[in-house]
Structure 1
Amino acid sequence: MSYRSTIARQPEALADTYAVIRDELAKLDSSSLEKSVIGITGIGASFAAAVVVAGELQTRGRRAFAIRSCDMYAGHDLCDVLIGLSHRGRSVETVIALEKLPSAERVAVTNDPDSPLAKVSNVHLRLNNGGDATPSSTGYTATLLAAGMLIDRITGGSTDWETVSETASIVLADAATKMARLRTHFADRRAIDCVGAGSSLGTADGASLLIREAARIPASAYDTRHYLHGPMEAMDPTTGVVIIGAGREVELARHLDTIGCPCLLITTASDVEDGEKLTVVRVPDMKNNVAQAIIDILTAQLFSAELSDAAGLTDVKFRYRMSDTKVAA
């Protein structure tokens, strides 16, 4: 299955996952999850998703944080509820993290109820995204959708998750119109930074991983305000920046344009236009950080596929395969 084909399948994968999670949550007694401190963990793209989820919980006034699975190995009692995100449920680090915290309520979000992660959890939510490729597309967004719906259940929130798949179709079509321009501006970059704040830092992290995996271009993620305090100094016309947001991010994008650094701005702001080296992709304001992250990452997925094609790496397999990152099936 090709990377572009899985990106194109996002609306279907989101609709299918929504239907399954809706039914699973209808049967779930979530009272044990309504505790004071919530940790969200994962590895790779799943950690990026964890940052998104933690940001939404914080917005709702809950004490929640994303924590790297490896940091849970010592078994410190860091949270009352631990949500483990892993598409296939086989990531060694995340499985160990949940094993090391038996005192917490443990929730697994995977596509396999018989996976190692599901087996060490008290609660399991099953994704129904169908096939995925590398880099991950449907697995990442389906994980976000399931976690977002769980947050609503835990906190008593109400989000129109059913319409996210339809919105995804619109955003994919709109973003596609900017890809030729982006391919021209971002050709032969020596490095690309990805920037966002709050939950959008998770999206920036996810975007940087996509760029590394699909196009083998060095890419890193930064919090918006942190980025202004030095990291952006290395950027120039030979590099590029992907920015997600509608606050200080807009001014940052305009500034980068003035110094000739190609920039992609994914934003809900309506008062910013393309510049000489600035390309703007406008997206709907979803009013929910997790739903916004689903919509925002779609442009980054198409963008990384464009860079992959430009580098002659279309659907090329990963060069480095580790033997100790997955629990054997």
Structure 2
Amino acid sequence: MKGQEDKVLKYKERKKFDFVAEDPTCRIEATTEHPIMYYALGSEPKTDHPYNVYNDIKTEPVAIRKTLEIIKDSLEKITNEFLKRDIKHIVGIGMGTSQFVAQAAGPAFWEWAKITSEDRDSVECLTVDKPYDFEHIALFAYSGSGSTVDTISATKKMKDCGSYCVAITSVEGSPLTKVCHDTIACAGGFDTGGSDTFHYATRLAASLLFALVLGEKKKIEGVDFDGLKKVLYEIPDLMTERWEYNEDRSQSIAKYYAHVRSIIIVGAGPNFGTAEEMELKFEEISAIPSKAMVPTRHLHGALGLTNEKILTILLYPKNKSEKWFEQIAKFTQLIKSPCIAILSDGEEKIAPMMDWVWRTPIDNEYLFALYVVPIIQMFPYFCALEQGNINPDTQRSNIPKYAKAWTMVLKPGEH
């Protein structure tokens, strides 16, 4: 949130999330003039670029930098608890974007800290039991607001079973933090647009740093902890340096693909989580049906689906899935289906087959997942602007029937 990007928001300072307050009928009927999403977020209504969600995205370099600076003591404490409790497995839970943070961070825990992890939807965790060794499980509860009721309920369940619970949130002192043993509080404040953006970036950065701190404390061999930390801390500056390039490229490409029938986003390892987050942003911000998948899911199912009205996006840092990414690129080229990619600077095999590319200065696939966050959010944003009739801040809550649906789904204080 602009003005909060270098701070941690305290719960008592946060406006209660409430769409309609004491006058629901009037607010719903007038939602086209003053969308109810702005009431819920306590932010200023916008009718043109730059919308609030764009400004939220633009705070990410500062919010990431500040988060990495302020969480060191928390990470040290949590690392010691991991060793004291002999934690063997991490379960990351959340809803939507929050779950995808756990998904994108998971492979870094496998690689850098040699600890297994999984991501689960909070309600699935709450309602579907798995036979965990609870005393040696760490539950990472991801919620930007710290008030997501289903995540709080799932966390209580896991804590009651004996798990060590950590809240990873942007709101210090929020209800989720009250039910957890420890908290990682990230900078950034609260959203001013109706889609989680910097929450994803800061919590992913915090998770990646924790994986490095934990691995180093465990004396894992064969990992260049100093080198990886150096690149991680450089990412906010790298984002800033290439901001104009990434924004201009996103805006240019959006002119051609804002009206596609749907989008397939392909990622592997940590960047399958990136693909999931990009899918959600297309759905939330620009209302374009999208589907995230790993390369072989595309090759074993989406071949017959893909045509000239469906856009394929490849998220490809150098990794062990090169052969399969190359097959997808060749396939889309053969059937003349549009395909674009986010690639590392030195990539030369796939880039020539793409219609457009974004280039990144990050080769490491785990850190690539953090660097590309503004791109995977800005591109859907500019697609929304090109459509001409979408307010990217509101998730269509500026239309009365959607406003009614939002008030039915999210009650006051539940987000």
Normalised TM-score (structure 2): 0.73
Q: Offset at 1:257?
A: 3.2
In structure 2, give the amino acid aligned to 1:115. Answer: S
Q: Offset at 1:184?
A: 3.2
Q: Which residue of 2 aligns with 1:41?
A: 93
Q: Which residue of 2 aligns with 1:153?
A: 213
Q: Offset at 1:328?
A: 4.1
Q: Which residue of 2 aligns with 1:30?
A: 79
Are the aligned partners of 2:286 and 2:392 in contact in 1 as well (CA < 8 Å)? Answer: no
Stretches of structure 1 that go unaligned for 5 or more consecutive residues are none
Q: Which residue of 2 aligns with 1:139?
A: 199
Q: Offset at 1:63?
A: 1.5
Match of 2:172, SS state, is coil
* Residue 261 to residue 152, structure 1, CA distance change in 2 (3 Å): same
Q: Offset at 1:314?
A: 3.7
Q: Offset at 1:229?
A: 0.3
Q: Which residue of 1 aligns with 2:25?
A: none
Structure 1 position 303 matched with structure 2 position 379: yes
Q: Which residue of 1 aligns with 2:103?
A: 51
* Residue 95 to residue 131, structure 1, CA distance change in 2 (3 Å): closer
Are the aligned partners of 2:267 and 2:314 in contact in 1 as well (CA < 8 Å)? Answer: yes
Distance 2:266 2:350 in 1: 19
Distance 1:37 1:24 in 2: 19
Paired positions, count: 327
Distance 2:153 2:257 in 1: 39
Q: Which residue of 2 aligns with 1:97?
A: 154
Match of 2:75, SS state, is helix
Are the aligned partners of 2:329 and 2:353 in contact in 1 as well (CA < 8 Å)? Answer: no
Aligned-CA RMSD value: 2.3
Which of these residues, 170, 186, 190, is aligned with residue 127 of structure 1? 186
Q: Which residue of 1 aligns with 2:258?
A: 187
Q: Offset at 1:144?
A: 0.5
Q: Offset at 1:270?
A: 2.0
Match of 2:271, SS state, is helix
Structure 1 position 229 matched with structure 2 position 286: no
* Residue 119 to residue 241, structure 1, CA distance change in 2 (3 Å): same
Match of 2:372, SS state, is helix
Alignment of 1:71-110 (within 5 A): 71-74=124-127, 76-78=130-132, 80-102=137-159, 103-110=162-169
Which of these residues, 269, 273, 278, is aligned with residue 355 of structure 2? 278
Are the aligned partners of 2:195 and 2:393 in contact in 1 as well (CA < 8 Å)? Answer: no
In structure 1, give the amino acid aligned to 2:96. Answer: G
In structure 2, give the amino acid aligned to 1:63. Answer: T
Are the aligned partners of 1:253 and 1:265 in contact in 2 as well (CA < 8 Å)? Answer: no
Q: Offset at 1:316?
A: 4.3
Task: Give the greater-gyration-radius structure (CA).
Answer: 2
* Residue 323 to residue 114, structure 1, CA distance change in 2 (3 Å): farther
Question: Mean Cα displacement is larger for which, 267-276 or 36-45?
Answer: 267-276
Distance 2:247 2:59 in 1: 14
Q: Which residue of 2 aligns with 1:5?
A: 55
